[in-house]
Structure 1
Amino acid sequence: MDYEYHMANHFRSRSIVAFYTTYPAFTVAVLLFALSSIALSIFISQSEQFLLVNQLHHPVADAAFQYITYGGDGLLMVLLTVILLFVRFKYVIYAITCFILTGLLAQGIKRTLGFPRPAKFFEGVHDLHIPPDYTVHFHNSFPSGHTTTAFAMMAMLYYLFPNQRNSPFLFVMALLVGYSRIYLAQHFPQDVFAGALIGSSMTFLLLGWFDSSTLFKADWANRRLHISVAIRPNPKQQSDGYSSLS
């Protein structure tokens, strides 16, 4: 599969529309997610939505979502970036730039608005279900940083693997990370929706700009890291070999 061919065709313009029209299954999943989120918000308040999720819990889910939530952790971003060193140098720059900018935007909004998280919002009003030995935060709820990261990573992976364009698999994985943030009482649904929007849309826009830039068409950008391993012969074996020939 020629990545350069696919990338050139997927991002012919800088518009985010170019991406969504190329990935029909993903686009349908995004639309359903957006419409359902908006519809729920019309009829059910954010606090009621959160409490509905918080009431649906199980010990197995408690353990599972504590691991799933790591899908939005910075360590996975670092791992993906290291792997991309062996694919194309320009992809490393793409990933680092997208992750940093989406993260800065999310954190900037968090610090500016300073919305309370569920544990603070419901303090003294409702006893929330929180998994045993799990620590929750109280401030800077909107938007969800983990969800922002998960959807930014999802966008990068869709870009790198065009054969997944008709599959909603990566979207579902990112969505599970977002749901885990609500389940673990770290965020409200609106925080997750905003994080998903910031992470995916901003990454798609940046990728479109990167691919239309002449800077990343240079030879250095398409090189990759090679690791060569030199195997030296054992001196003893080498000596034995010479003696057998004499």
Structure 2
Amino acid sequence: MHKVLLKILDFFGTPLCYLALGVAVAIWHWQFGVGMIFASVLIELICAIVKLLTRFERPAPHPFPRTTLYSHYDASSFPSAHTARIAACTAMLYFCVPDVRLGLVALVLTAGVAYSRVAGRHHYVRDVVAGALLGAGTAYLLNGWIERLWP
């Protein structure tokens, strides 16, 4: 049961989840939807650059040799892109729809994804903390940019 829960929580950190959710949410709240899409793309770029530059090993050894650029990216643990994505979504939600109950649900889900990444031995705590800060900071900057473009 625990492994199933970790897999479900992991899904909430995948790029496909945020791009699809961003498109769907844009119909309901365009600023939040557009922010999620931009944040997802920007976080992918930032995490890829940082992972390729730092190349920190994951807690569990990576099963494949590092022969391609993608394998170097995939084998690197810092920062946690899963946590960065969901933290960006949570922060964007807070900026666009400041509902305390909704924010608390999103915050619990963010903590769950961060926990799943550490418990699944994909990341160290420093990786998920850095990912959360990166995601929230990205959302903060994007929200300011979106508000200036479309007041």
Bigger radius of gyration = 1
Residue in structure 2 matched with residue 197 of structure 1 by the alignment: 133
1:95 to 1, 15, 36: 36
Measure how far apart 1:156 and its partner are.
Answer: 2.0
Measure how far apart 1:144 and its partner are.
Answer: 0.6
Matched, 1:64 2:9: no
Matched, 1:181 2:117: yes
2:54 to 102, 105, 113: 113
| C-alpha separation in 1, matches of 2:74 and 2:141 | 32
Tell me: CA distance 1:168–1:87, structure 2 relative to 1, closer, same or farther (3 Å).
Answer: closer
Matched, 1:209 2:141: no
Aligned-residue Cα RMSD (Å) equals: 2.3
| 8 A contact 2:25–2:32 mirrored in 1 | yes
Any idea what the Cα deviations from partners look like across 1:184-223, whole Å, max 9, x if unmatched? 1111111111000100122112202321x1x314xxxxxx
Tell me: CA distance 1:120–1:138, structure 2 relative to 1, closer, same or farther (3 Å).
Answer: farther
Q: Which shows bigger deviation, 179-188 or 78-87? A: 78-87
Measure how far apart 1:160 and its partner are.
Answer: 3.1
TM-score when normalising by structure 1: 0.52
The number of residue pairs the alignment matches comes to 141
| C-alpha separation in 2, matches of 1:209 and 1:168 | 25
| C-alpha separation in 2, matches of 1:74 and 1:170 | 17
Greater helix share, structure number: 2
| C-alpha separation in 2, matches of 1:165 and 1:201 | 22
Q: Which runs of 5+ in 2 are unaligned?
A: 63-72
Residue in structure 1 matched with residue 27 of structure 2 by the alignment: 86
Q: Which runs of 5+ in 1 are unaligned?
A: 1-59, 122-136, 218-246
